[in-house]
Structure 1
Amino acid sequence: MTQTSDFLSVLNPSQRKAVEHLCGPMLVVAGAGSGKTRALTYRIANLILQHRVNPEQILAVTFTNKAAREMKERIESLFAQQLAPSSTGRDWDDLGDAEQVRLRSRIYQDYIKPLWVGTFHASCARILRYDIDKYQDEAGRRWDKQFSIFDESDVQGLVKEIVTKDLNLDDKKFNHKSVRYAISNAKNQGLSPQDFQREQPNYRGRVISEVYELYQKRLAENNALDFDDLILVPVNLLRKNEQVLAYWHNRFHHILVDEYQDTNRTQYDLIRLLATGGVQSRDYKDWQNRSIFVVGDADQSIYSFRMADFTILMDFQQDFGDGLSDQKSETMIKLEENYRSRENILQAANELIQNNKERIDKVLRPTRDSGVPITCYQADNEIDEAEFAIRQMRQLEQKYPDINWGSFSILYRTNAQSRAFEEVLVRQNIKYRMVGGLKFYDRKEIKDAICYLRLLINPADTVSLLRIINVPRRGIGKSTLDRLLGASSELGIPLWEIISDETSVRTLAGRSTKAVMGFYKLITRWQERLETEKASTIAQGILTDSEYL
């Protein structure tokens, strides 16, 4: 497949200059609404279509899964438009539905599927599925490729158990949520338990370090990682294993990073290791057929509470670039044309942002005319604020007959703020619908289903096992589980190995023996079908056989 048209003609000059950059480092300072996703998308397409870069050699890191999906969809659509004439002799819009499906299928297999486009966590998880068996931590702990990824509720439960049961600490002085937050911050800074204790030598630091150490031990016993480990473990693996580092450095010739202002130090270390093969960024010169292309804006950095460090973006020119002034630099491009907001919005934003001294200077230029003047209302309290918002909506409803109440949304920072708005809406007899609640993966039935699937591929995952061994109820009580867990702890082996031994189960489970063995047979029966059945069949089958449905 080859392309013929100048598909970059739709870009503005700054976007085009960024997209056509081939090798070496490049920082794209992209203001809000300036088309950064378009620049990233077209750059990937340009590398493949114009420069014949193998899609497998491209790694694009996004901030959210949604952004990753959107980027893939845009690239696929762009390829379809460009490759239709050379593949079929007709423009994309002239093709029938069946022909479009066939062409898209070829494009997906040849170009989209081989691309690595995803979040830091998703990309690192893929790397670890290949190479985690080559890693061991400072305490000699190891994981295999079937590791589980614990979500936040799993992690909170594990930390709480360590704090309140294993170490018998006062939960008021060492609240498990704050301890978990401290451990997460330590990992995002690349600190081991020992490193953390050296940085926090006071009593609280020593205790949290002890919790951290025991927490890592429990994760390893469950062959599990948390979300912070998904980035920290690959970084440590790449630092320790030159062969693994060489492989991934040679695999990814072109690295693109979105929202670079919201990276933390561990994420930065990962990108640097992959880009330079372990050489210090300032000393790396071998950019032939390689690039690191980052997009971001210090003015939009909002995740410092997650240890994001906007100075990583500010230091790019010194770390990777030519270090020249903004006007002379060949390794920095600014996208300053805004396609999203009205002129008066941008004027206000520019004036406010100028007060920030730690930034790369830029001015957002409007491509749309002025809109409704900006007003600011200072409410006396939350009820006054809610009544003001409802009044504005009533005025708009009266002014524009085509507008109904379903045309409005009320956005607020925290769920606690919803009450005042609800009270005013009820009092004024305005129907409304609350949007939110538990996230899909936080729902009990979804977590239970995932734990069944986790246990199938990772029997060492005792956290998942304990969640579902008596769900639905099988008559396996707490005292039975305590005896089984006691034997597991005493022998230093996973709980699964205890319940897989019929003699041990008969000795320890008493009247629950039949139920425990029934659960064991249920899991092993579906484990035997992992290699032959689709995931959807496995999920449906085990939930049916277990009577969970």
Structure 2
Amino acid sequence: MTPNSMEPSKEQKEIIESSEKFIQVIAAAGSGKTFTMIRLAEKIFHSKQFKESEILLITFSRKAAEELRERLEKAIGSSSIRIHTFHAFCLKMINSFHPDLKQKIQILTPEEKEEILKEFYKSKRDLIGGIPYELLQSKTNLLSETYFPGLSGEAEMYYRDFKRENHRLDFDDLVSVFLDGLKKNEAWSLKAKKEIRLIIVDEFQDTDPVQLEWLQLMGPEKLIVVGDDWQAIYGFRGASTEPFLNFNKIFTPCKRYFLTANHRSVSEIVQISAFPIHKNKKNIPKTVVASRKEKGNVLCTRIKELRDWQSLILEVQSRDAVILCRTNYRIRTLIKIGFPADKIFTIHASKGLEYSTVYLDLYGGWTSEEESDPEEERRILYVGLSRARDNLFILGPPELSSGREQEFYKYFIKKYKDLEFPTFLNESKKN
């Protein structure tokens, strides 16, 4: 899809007209992924190759599922294609077919799980001191295993015991229950499996190993996955880039398609966004190009005084702009200074969104080498950078010493001037 047209581009047409059994779509940020998925599903619907009820479209959040459901219903005039998260679909099948669990499942919410684990870590406060819960519990955190070996495993055992003693399941258990049924060829799971012949998975880069195995055992007649390994940022939840990187080896024969035209951002932003990713060893190489011809603005400055932050408040309020931060802690800090809460998001919360102007916070809050995977941190940086359409303003730390923020900021001042704040402020007002 070009910026001013609802006609698919050449790349998009190839995907929409594809007919292979296993298809992988590698879609760059801003490349019209959702538009392409809707048109592909529309084409499959009209082909009558599959009944509507035999098609399952999986995405990774309820909000995304609702958006896809609304857009697809508008496109085909029907709401009978199944659109769910992994967890919601598995819950639906268990409730419909499982002989012991149907209509009896009590689900633990993520918030309840967090409270249970916080209680565990509180009981270990003499051991861990004041280290934040979020750091200890992240599945990609290296800090916990380095200084407290076995602690995360003990926490998981505590949580499993709680679920067993209280007869509760969480969302991840739903996929595991279904998977276990498929492994054992249990009648209820095979009955559920027969209902689905075509599966389309959106945001496939966020898949975890259990979900991958579930897809393998579901064995649909046709499987289409869509995503971008450059935007895989949920390692802390147990997701892995390996299913996406190796999809064409796991599901064979597979046809790979690319969406490489970015219709969102101006060329300067497209180019600088990709720079951190090129330092990663584990990725699928692609050259992303901007379809837009307008000029944009990329500026860098280091924030050295509190008054510098305060000078930005009016600027952020007066335009279609947001500040994107690495952590909720940074958000709380900036709100205390006076920034409006509706103008500040974590990079994770901004995924899938776009803004005319993005102020990217590299002042603080990024993890160290021992706390998380550096390749994932670069992917998080990429997601933040690629939210900007027209203006990208990079806010660096006061000193260029060692640290993740400093490392990242140095990427950008190799190409752009490290402006003094007053100069930066004047230049940023020109756009």
The residue aligned with 1:58 is 55
- In the alignment, residue 203 of structure 2 is paired with which amino acid? E
Alpha carbons 2:118, 2:133 under 8 Å: kept = no
Query: Residues 60-75 of structure 1: matches in 2 within 5 Å?
Result: 60-75=57-72
Question: Which range moves more in the overlay, 251-260 or 44-53?
Answer: 44-53
The residue aligned with 1:146 is 104
What's the CA shift string for 1:365-417, capped at 9, x where partnerless? 21101433311112235x25514524755xxxxxxxxxx73755444444443
Q: Please state if 1:348 is matched with 2:272.
A: yes
Inter-partner Cα distance in structure 2 for 1:416 and 1:22: 47
Query: Residues 149-228 of structure 1: matches in 2 within 5 Å?
Result: 149-158=107-116, 170=124, 172-173=126-127, 204=151, 207-208=154-155, 210-220=157-167, 224-228=168-172
Inter-partner Cα distance in structure 1 for 2:160 and 2:333: 44
What's the CA shift string for 1:249-297, capped at 9, x where partnerless? 3211110011111111111111111125xxxxxxxxxxxxx21000111
Partner of 1:374, secondary structure, is strand
Partner of 1:331, secondary structure, is strand
What's the CA shift string for 1:285-323, capped at 9, x where partnerless? xxxxx210001111111111111101110101111133x
Inter-partner Cα distance in structure 2 for 1:318 and 1:354: 23
Query: Residues 254-273 of structure 1: matches in 2 within 5 Å?
Result: 254-273=198-217
Alpha carbons 2:322, 2:343 under 8 Å: kept = no
Alpha carbons 1:131, 1:145 under 8 Å: kept = no
The residue aligned with 1:253 is 197
User: Which of 84, 93, 97 is the equivalent residue of 1:127?
Assistant: 93
Inter-partner Cα distance in structure 2 for 1:392 and 1:162: 44
Partner of 1:375, secondary structure, is strand
From the two aligned structures, give the one with the greater helix fraction. Answer: 1
Inter-partner Cα distance in structure 2 for 1:185 and 1:415: 18
Inter-partner Cα distance in structure 1 for 2:45 and 2:238: 35
1:340: how far off? 0.7
Partner of 2:104, secondary structure, is coil
From the two aligned structures, give the one with the greater strand fraction. Answer: 2
**Runs of 5+ consecutive residues of structure 2 not aligned to the other structure:** 141-148, 345-431
Partner of 1:244, secondary structure, is helix
Q: RMSD value over aligned CA atoms?
A: 3.5
Partner of 2:98, secondary structure, is helix
Inter-partner Cα distance in structure 1 for 2:246 and 2:128: 37
Alpha carbons 2:98, 2:188 under 8 Å: kept = no
Alpha carbons 2:98, 2:189 under 8 Å: kept = no
User: Which of 302, 307, 316 is the equivalent residue of 2:238?
Assistant: 307
Higher relative contact order (CA 8 A, sep 6+): 2
The residue aligned with 1:41 is 38
**Runs of 5+ consecutive residues of structure 1 not aligned to the other structure:** 1-7, 80-106, 135-142, 187-201, 277-289, 323-329, 394-403, 426-431, 438-549
- In the alignment, residue 215 of structure 1 is paired with which amino acid? F
Alpha carbons 1:22, 1:291 under 8 Å: kept = no
Alpha carbons 2:97, 2:192 under 8 Å: kept = no
Residue identity (%): 25
Partner of 2:303, secondary structure, is coil
Partner of 1:10, secondary structure, is coil
- In the alignment, residue 109 of structure 2 is paired with which amino acid? D
Task: Provide closer, same or farther for how the CA distance between residues 12 and 409 of structure 1 changes in structure 2, counting only shifts above 3 A.
Answer: closer
The count of corresponding residues between Structure 1 and Structure 2 is: 331
User: Which of 405, 429, 446 is the equivalent residue of 2:318?
Assistant: 405
- In the alignment, residue 82 of structure 2 is paired with which amino acid? W
Inter-partner Cα distance in structure 2 for 1:158 and 1:309: 25
TM-score normalised by L of structure 2: 0.67
Question: Which structure would you say has the larger Rg?
Answer: 1
